[in-house]
A = this chain, B = another copy of it.
Amino acid sequence: MATRRFAATDPSLAALYEKLSEASLQPLWELSGLLTPQPVARGVPYRWAGKELRELGSTAGELVPVGRGGDRRVLACCNPGLDGAPYAVSTLWAAVQYLRGFEVAPAHRHTPAALRFIVEGEGVWTLVDGDPLHMGTGDLVLTPSWTFHEHHNPTADPMIWMDVLDLPIVAALDAVFFENGPSEKVDRATAAQSSSEAWFGGGPGLVPVDGPALSARRSPLLAYRWADTERALEGQLAVRGDGHARLRYTDPIRGGDVMPTMRCEMERLRSGTTSAAVRQTGGQVTCVLHGTGRIEVGSGDQLRAFDVEPGDIVAIPSWAPRSVSADTQLDLFTTSDAPVLDALGLFRIETALGATA
C-alpha cells in the first residue's frame, strides 16, 4: 500500500520521505513535469495510409471472424507516441472496421460514443436503437452514448469505414458501462430512409412539433448525408472568396455539437488552396474523403508533412499546428474532442499562425 518513495541525502529529509511514502503522500517539490508552460501532448503527428488500411482490413476479413472479441472486426489506429495505447490521439480512438458480405456485427451498447465515417463503398446498415441507417460514401453516422448499435451487410460485397470513439475520455473518467444487445437474434432490418431522418432530416430549421422525445444531450439526427453536406459546402464556397469552406455537423433541433464529446467538421479546399496553420487544445483526427494534397502537423522538431490521398487518417495532437494545401479539390472530415474542452473552459485556439508553407 506504499506509494512512490523519493530519495534524499539529508537524513531528516530521507526520514520524512519514508514516512510520506508510508502515508501514501508525495512531496510536490520532488515532482516535475506536472505543470508545463504549454501542453506537452502525449502522442505525435501521425498518418495511417488509406491504402494500407484497406489492405489490412481485407486480410483481417479473410482470417478473422467478426464475432471474435468485441464483436467487431476493427483495426485500431495506435499513435506511436502513446506507449502502446490503442488510441489515435490521447483522447480519441480511431479505427477502421471491415464487414464482409452478409456478415453481421451484433448489437451492443456502451457509454463511449461512436461515429462512423465512410470514405468509400456502401451497402451496410447500422441499426441504432433499432433504426436502420444506410451507410454510403461521405455519410456521417452517429451511435451516441448508450444507444444499441449493430451493423449488418445484406450485400455480397465487403465494406470498410472509419470508427471514432471518445473511449479514452470516458475511460479517464472511470465511466465505462457496456451491455450486449437484448437477445441473440440478429436484426437485419433495412429501410429506404431511417426514422431519425424522416423526423429530423427534412430541411434546415424544419423540426417536428410533436415528434419523438429528444435525448438530453445529443442530436436526434443520426445520419448526415453526403449530398446535403456537399450542397452546404458549395453554398458556402459561393459566398466566400477564399476557396475554403468549413462546416460543422450539429444537432438540428437545439444547436451545438452532435454529441457532447466529439465535434465533427467537414472542409472543402478548392484545388490550389492553402489553409493557414491553426492549433487548438485537444486532439483531432482527420480523414481524407476526396482529393490529394498535403497536411502539415506540428512545429519545430515535431513538424511532419503528409502527402495525403483518400482514406488516409491523420492524428493531430493537442496544440500542434495544422495546415493544409490542396493539390486537387480536397474534402477532409475531422473529429475532435473540442466540445469537452469547451464545456470545461479549456478550449484555446490560435488561428493567426500564418500559412506554414
Number of chain A interface residues as a range: 35 or more
Q: Is A32 in the interface zone, CB < 8 Å from B?
A: yes
B46 touching A24 by the CB < 8 A rule? yes
Task: Specify which of B32, B46, B343 is in contact with A69 (CB 8 Å cutoff).
Answer: B32
Q: Is A355 in the interface zone, CB < 8 Å from B?
A: no
Chain A window 58-89, contacts with chain B (Cβ cutoff 8 Å), 1 for yes, 0 for no: 01100110001110111111111000101000
Q: Is A232 in the interface zone, CB < 8 Å from B?
A: yes
Q: Is A7 in the interface zone, CB < 8 Å from B?
A: no
A27 touching B206 by the CB < 8 A rule? no
Question: Which residues of B sit under 8 angstroms from A235, Cβ to Cβ?
Answer: 193, 197-199, 201-202
A contacts, CB < 8 Å to B: 1-4, 10, 12-13, 16, 19-20, 23-32, 34-43, 46, 48-49, 52-53, 56, 59-60, 63-64, 68-70, 72-80, 84, 86, 90-91, 95, 110-112, 145, 167-179, 193, 195, 197-211, 216-219, 221, 224-225, 228-229, 231-233, 235-236, 238-239, 245-255, 258-261, 265, 267, 281-283, 317-319, 337, 340-341, 343-346, 348
Q: How far is the CA of A13 from the CA of B267 in the complex (A)?
A: 38
Closest to A112 in B: B35
Task: Specify which of B3, B13, B52, B172 is in contact with A90 (CB 8 Å cutoff).
Answer: B172
A318 and B75 in contact, given A84-B3, A209-B246, A228-B206 (Cβ under 8 angstroms)? no
Task: Specify which of B36, B59, B203 is in contact with A203 (CB 8 Å cutoff).
Answer: B203
Closest to A28 in B: B74
- Candidate in A171, A174, A199 with the most chain B CB atoms within 10 angstroms: A174
Q: How far is the CA of A175 from the CA of B37 in the complex (A)?
A: 10
- Candidate in A32, A53, A86 with the most chain B CB atoms within 10 angstroms: A86
Q: How far is the CA of A28 from the CA of B68 in the complex (A)?
A: 9
Question: Which residues of B sit under 8 angstroms from A261, Cβ to Cβ?
Answer: 344-345
Q: How far is the CA of A255 from the CA of B253 in the complex (A)?
A: 5
